[in-house]
Amino acid sequence: MQEIGHWINGKRVAGKSGRFADIYNPATGEIQAKVALASPEELDHAIAEAAKAQVAWAATNPQRRARVMMAFGALINQNMDKLAELVSREHGKTLPDARGDVQRGLEVVEVCMGAPAMLKGEMTDSAGPGIDLYAMRQPLGVVAGITPFNFPAMIPLWKMAPALASGNAMILKPSERVPSTSLLLAELLQEAGLPDGVLQVVNGDKSVVDGILDHPVIQGVGFVGSTPIAQYIYGRAATNGKRAQCFGGAKNHMIIMPDADLDKAADALIGAGYGAAGERCMAISVAVPVGAQTADALIERLVPRIEKLKVGPYTAGDDVDFGPLITRQAQERVLGLIGSGVEQGAKLVVDGRGLKIQGYESGFFVGPTLFDDVTPEMEIYRQEIFGPVLSTVRKDSYEDALKLVMDNEYGNGTAIYTADGDTARDFASRVNVGMVGINFPIPVPLSYYSFGGWKRSAFGDLNQYGPDAFRFYTKTKTVTARWFSGIKEGAALNFKAMD
């Protein structure tokens, strides 16, 4: 059976700890490979080598670092199908969805090709007599990225591209469930001209995460995953004096107003609720129709669309709309939440339980599921399901619908479908959520903006990619310089000497 190791100093290396985790084929339920889990000594070695390599990389001018990003982007395009197949093989998502995963990561790499402009400092000449004042942006040093299973290409690229373009070295710890894509990306970066050691890919479990958080050389940590783990990582990193950006769970709502185009809203909910089997932090998991008539008409449109969805392995190609969940545990959790919804009185309109696909009976599949008459007290509303389950919470007015969104503990993304500009502007202005869509279901910003949620969906002051990423991965140094040229003054004993 294939054993997957690490990427250290520009090459794949076998694990030395003797500890492994199983990598499953989600469609069959079978173990397809094993990934090495690094020991503390292996992690320490990777960090030490990264620290050595970072010195020269930081001294490389930003334009030359940007050229590595340009070559890297070209190689990602050339290897798009290979990367997508790796994503699908380990995650289970369809090939079109996997290509989208790679593409959205590539777009961040493309923005990082403009790193020299993002890394410019500021200057004021003649701030005082013969005095210049300027600020420089300098890399943090060695940073770490801890990335989740649901986007094996996109989120590692969101982390590594701006970190490396800013002059840092990075320790990347991908999810042990989907390690292969990160290793291929590391190979492509080396081919693009990244010096050995600047990117190290270390596979591991919680012990590696804790090692990263406690290591004195690591200066910054980026994480994406569940809220409890995000809060844990943020707290431990901050306690150890590290900069941290940690993104957690979500419960994303879409409000559907009576004046909305209900066919467009229903189509949007199908894609946003069931795409990637619902394993997206930006998935719409709650539909909030305003008014009974709107709700009835929306359900009427959703049911036939849901019943047409095809579930199966990625190898079925275009005949499949979404694939299995990542693990047996994930499947059992989602099925349990569906059961709790029934027990607590929600109306199960479409039941995705019991789905069996010929030849893939042991796969981790859950069919598309639709609930109506869900209330905020129910477990299926309170929990982030992370599966193909859409809940409908009916509200009588816009204000009630808005309050539902604002009272929720999460604040990642939200959307509203309406034909009224005043309502849309009011919603965008008042809602306490980090990313807002107006007649747009999944409002993930383009890569030259920044991605980030509010409330318990995010911990830290700066968001992912875009301008915030360059702020996160650099620190500001301010220099006050005086060059004497015949100006004669006595000793200054106060701060007014610059005036």
Q: Which residues are catalytic?
A: 281
Long-range contacts of 313-321 (CB under 8 A, 24+ apart): 313/27, 313/28, 313/92, 313/357, 313/360, 313/363, 314/27, 314/88, 314/89, 314/92, 314/93, 314/94, 314/95, 314/98, 315/27, 317/95, 318/96, 320/94, 321/94, 321/274, 321/275
Cross-strand pairs, 36: 20
Cross-strand pairs, 435: 413
Q: Is 480 left (phi over 0), alpha (psi -120 to 50) or beta?
A: beta
Q: In a 3-state reduction of DSSP, which class is residue 162? A: helix
Overall size of the chain counted in residues: 499
Task: Check residue 449 and report its DSSP letter.
Answer: S
Calculate the alpha carbon distances from 106 to 66, 115, 221, 454 in Å: 14, 15, 21, 25
Cross-strand pairs, 220: 143, 243
β-strand 11-13 against 6-8: which pairing, if any? antiparallel
Going by C-alpha positions, the residue among 122, 164, 157 that lies closest to residue 141 is 164
| Residues contacting 255, CB < 8 A, separation 6+ | 288, 290, 398, 401, 402, 405, 414, 415, 416, 417, 418, 427
User: CB of 101 within 8 A of CB of 153?
Assistant: yes
Q: Considering only CA atoms, give the Rg of the chain.
A: 25
Going by C-alpha positions, the residue among 406, 384, 380 that lies closest to residue 393 is 380
Residue 175: phi and psi, rounded to 5, are -60, 135
Residue 372's H or E segment, with its range, is: strand 369-372
Calculate the alpha carbon distances from 196 to 43, 173, 199 in Å: 16, 17, 7
DSSP 185-200: HHHHHHHHTPPTTSEE
Structure token digits, residue 77? 């395009």
HSE toward the beta carbon, residue 1, CA cutoff 13 A: 12
Structure token digits, residue 107? 């777009």
Dihedral angle sign, alpha carbons of residues 431, 269, 251, 233: negative
Report the C-alpha gap between 286 and 288 in whole angstroms.
6
